[in-house]
Structure 1
């Protein structure tokens, strides 16, 4: 006769994990067993009270209710707890010299317009204009043709277009470019500004309770895709920004900070140069 494992405080995690069946996905078993072990360990370590548990359930419920197709409060929660960056770091370990990933963020939109190289993605005219240029290279320094570069940023007031539907032009500060044989890219956007992540929901309340701010340093988003290379999802950050060392979502990496220089071309005010280095899809990490 199979021994019945009754629930006890001492053997709580073991009892719950023992209920899993035999015919389940091995990876699911590994992940869930570890999750249950650490959750039960956490509850025991802090001796969580009934009141605290109910507050946690209520917090998660409100977080879910804040999610829709324009806003993902759970992504903000993951970002501000450093989980998004940790998962990204584990999944994108790259050789020295390759461009580092950083957090994807909740404001990317699929289907941005494909533009000619050199186009201006700032449609509302707000902010200080900036010429972005550089190359897309492989680890040996060879240019990569056909790299698809998806870019997006906030506007001069610190808001993405999806945060102000009807208030900003559709696809404001967004565009997709494709490199030619020389691997070069260039386009005109704005010098991005620091902004606060949405703080009017449960995540904002959590940050306030922890005496943390909700600000991100100024940055431009880039996503690079090519069929023969690993995808890059990253930002470039404005050097000297006061939030570089306290980014609310822990997204800053030193290699991604760059200087913005005054531009002598009368059409734009600033210039920012950055070369991306992609890793071959079959190359060892």
Structure 2
């Protein structure tokens, strides 16, 4: 595979704040020695972040500050940020640096009834960093949310989960076969187990489902997923996210095999039908 040229700007000069999570970022953590990477993953003293974005109104209640981690175990066909799959593409940030950055926004986030969201990539690929960061943010009195695929939910203790006010669970599919089809071969038993665990702990959840014509627009699949979500008793809302092509250029630049280049976004009618399926199961869906 052809490699992407390293950025002209040194990692320490790359701004943590990005104009958009769709911004392409690669190679920013490659100079970190392997021993330091292993230590960071074990202790959480350092994390690898794609970026921070401010002013989000879609990643949890109110206005949010969002930190996007790098590293993900899934290879979803519709992923719009494949540059976040690799840990070394992220900016190495110490835990103290991340806390200091969030503290700058703490009062404003509380005033706007918003909070801090950790997304990715997959945040629980860096579970120690995530757990310690959520603890620190909760101590600021700021609402916390995590957007996750749920696969590594067992890496968090019950007390660590309680530091997360809202889990936004990205549900790729309900049946194992469909989940493997969407994610590049990854099963979903651990995802469903994490959802059930959150329900047992009475932790608020949102469900997210990406609607892709020809891939995820399967009524039976959505019906099963919606029924499961409703059975949990803690799902506050379900969000149907229409597929888009905003990340196509990243697949091209990374020389990845993008199977959805000819796929069009779902029609309004198709989105409405999907929303109705989730509403029919008793969920607040949009």
Q: Give the TM interval when normalised to the shorter protein.
A: under 0.3
Higher Cα Rg, which structure: 1
TM-score by length of structure 1 reads 0.21
